[in-house]
Structure formats: C-alpha cells, structure tokens
Amino acid sequence: MPVPFSSLGRTAVALVAAAAIAAVGCNSTYAPRRSGQLRIVMESGQPVLVKHGRIYPLGMFGGGLVEATADSPRALEHAEAFRDGMATGAVAYLAGIAALLAAPIGIVVAETNRGPTGRDDDGWLWVTGGLAIGGVALTAIGLSSMLNAQPRLYDAINVHNDDLLYGAAATETAAP
C-alpha cells in the first residue's frame, strides 16, 4: 500500500525547489566591455567589480574595492570609508549580539546568588540590565554604521569612473 505524501513532505519539496531556484537566479550573464571603468556584476551569486577585464571580489568589507580604486586617490578615500564603516559596524554589531546573549546568563546568576533576605546582594541584575541596554545600543550603532557605509561603495565607483573620464581636476570643480 503506498504511503500518502504528507503536507510536511510537500512543504519540504517546495522549500528545496525554492532554494534551488534562488541559487541559480543570482548570476549575471553579461560581461561589460574591457575598460578602465569600474562595473559591478554578479558572479556565483556575489557582487564583484570588473575593471580592465580583471575581477575584484568585493567581499563584506570592500577589500576588492580598495584595490580596484587604488589608482584614483579621491575614489580611494570613499573606498576606505566604506571598508572602515563596514568593519566598525560589524564589530559593534557582533559585540552587541554577544552582550544580548550574555544578559540572560546574568539573570540566572542573579537568581542563584540571592541572599537570605531575597535581595540581589551582588548587583547582578544591574549588570544584566547594563548588558541588555548596551547590547541593544551596540547592535543599533553597528547596523547604522554598516548602512551608512553602503553609499560610499557607489561613491567610490562613481568618483573613480568620473576621474577616469573627465580627470580629477574637472570633477572637483563640478562638485556641488
């Protein structure tokens, strides 16, 4: 007697199919012409930079962007600001998550260290509250830093391409 295909089995098949479609849907097929301009394309589901036919992996912290803009001092400033903002934001975000994960441990310690009067003699609840508030603050600062760094990626690319096409002196006078 055949086993009926349960709704759980149908859900699993649907999720696997959706994951397979998403995995192959993140590639670009067009390769820009070889030029000194920076272009962003997708390769194996990841954004990469292309310049003179060479591929620079972008990475989370923009190492490839810094390398690709090294010949344009103004663009390099934006690339380094992107890299620094992403790195600082990631560290702050991860520290915030660690503090938020540590806060419940402080509650357990506070409860196990209660004195005979039922008061928190060691101040663990204050420590736990500080961890929770600090964790939320660090997480928000980290996310803000990473979100504010994103436009610098595009600034670096645009400044590099403008400097290549028009020269650094021409773009400096045209800036608002």
Is 26 inside any structural domain? yes
Q: Tell me which residue range forms the domain holding 49.
A: 7-174
Is 111 inside any structural domain? yes
pLDDT for the residue numbered 34 = 76
Distance CA 173, CA 176 (A): 8
* 10-residue mean pLDDT series, the chain (176 residues): 58 70 59 80 86 89 90 94 95 96 82 66 76 95 95 94 81 55
Is 2 inside any structural domain? no
Q: Are 96 and 145 in contact (CB under 8 A)?
A: no
Number of domains in the chain: 1
Distance CA 155, CA 171 (A): 13
The model's pTM is 0.72
- Tokens standing for 70? 């090294």
The pair phi, psi for residue 36, each rounded to 5°, is: -80, -5
Is 1 inside any structural domain? no
Is 66 inside any structural domain? yes
Is 134 inside any structural domain? yes
Counting runs of H as helices and runs of E as strands, what totals does the chain give? 5, 3
Residues 6 or more apart whose Cβ sits within 8 Å of residue 125: 106, 107, 110
